[in-house]
Amino acid sequence: MKVAISQFAASPTISENTAHIVADAKRASEEGATLMVCPEAAMIRLPNKHESLVGRVESPEGSFGRGIAQASARTGVTIVAGAFTPGDDTKVKNTLFVASGGKIAATYDKIHLYDAFADKESDKVIPGPTEPITIDVEGVRIGLATCYDLRFPEMFRVLADEGSLIVTIPTAWVKGPHKEEHWLTLLRARAIENSFFVIGSGESGERSIGRSAAFDPMGSQMADLGTGNSFAVIDIDTNKVAKTRSMNPSLQNRRFEVIPRREYD
């Protein structure tokens, strides 16, 4: 299958971001892609530390969801894009939308919140339930993850156990010392240790690194979109997952199971 990666700097205006994704979905279709991965916060720009999104976000039935759903119907491309959805009076949810066949076919609320590197996403965002989500595109099982989730390998073990051959990771990876090295190293590690394809779509712009990238089950890099607005289509041979797991059966050879973390007060 062919997978498109859309990398752009999101604006504070939902309609502008929707239009960008709609245009990229058309391009993806013209280049033969059936799946397109967009950044985290593709609906509306990631807020700064002193900015609230309460009252400015939309449910999947809002204009952003409708726009990308209609684009999926017109183009035949399944679109994975980051959004924010209503939470409570003080917080929102960091939600991936999966647009397919003219509707929002699935959503995933980010499990691991970015309480690190002097930031505290949990001040503004409600974490999702510890239930990783997968979708099917053309009979291929695809796992969903968002940004900071990448630093937690156990989640990707669960996605592998759920049958994922590809994992998509929309992100707005914040700039800083060692951050690009962490991003690319962890993408490669998740691909190698689970023997599946990993596709990360990063937001570009002033605060985020861009650097959207894809790795195959052996850890070979298939794409790097650099730091500016960019677009790419990559060819994925899903048969390579089975071939890699036959040659290097690390998933079969493991001795530990992944169990949910106990909650503490």
Q: Is the pLDDT of residue 37 over 80?
A: yes
Q: Is the pLDDT of residue 66 over 60?
A: yes
The DSSP 8-state label assigned to residue 208 in this structure reads B
Q: What is the structure's pLDDT at 49?
A: 73
**Two tokens, residue 165:** 């051959």
Does the annotation mark 40 as catalytic?
A: yes
CA 126 to chain CA centroid, nearest Å: 18
Q: Average pLDDT for residues 197-214, to the nearest whole number? A: 97
Q: Is the pLDDT of residue 48 over 80?
A: no
pLDDT tens figures, 76-105: 999 999 999 999 999 999 999 999 999 999
pLDDT tens figures, 13-35: 999 999 999 999 999 999 999 99
Q: What is the structure's pLDDT at 264?
A: 45
Specify whether the CB–CB gap between 52 and 93 falls below 8 A.
Answer: no
Q: Average pLDDT for residues 226-242, to the nearest whole number? A: 98
Q: Is the pLDDT of residue 263 over 60?
A: no
The DSSP 8-state label assigned to residue 126 in this structure reads E
Looking at 43-130, list the stretches that DSSP marks H as alpha helix, in order from N- to C-terminal side. 63-75
Q: What is the structure's pLDDT at 50?
A: 74
- Helix axis angle for 179-194 and 153-161, nearest 10°, is 30
Considering the candidates 58, 93, 147, 203, report the single residue annotated as catalytic. Answer: 147
- Find residue 134's DSSP bridge partners: 143
Nearest-angstrom CA–CA distance, 60 and 93? 12
Q: What is the structure's pLDDT at 262?
A: 62
- Helix axis angle for 14-30 and 63-75, nearest 10°, is 10
Q: Average pLDDT for residues 43-51, to the nearest whole number? A: 83
Does the annotation mark 175 as catalytic?
A: no
Q: What is the structure's pLDDT at 125?
A: 96
Considering the candidates 91, 93, 110, 124, report the single residue annotated as catalytic. Answer: 110
Q: Average pLDDT for residues 116-143, to the nearest whole number? A: 95
**Domains of the chain: residue spans and CATH:** 2-253 (3.60.110.10)
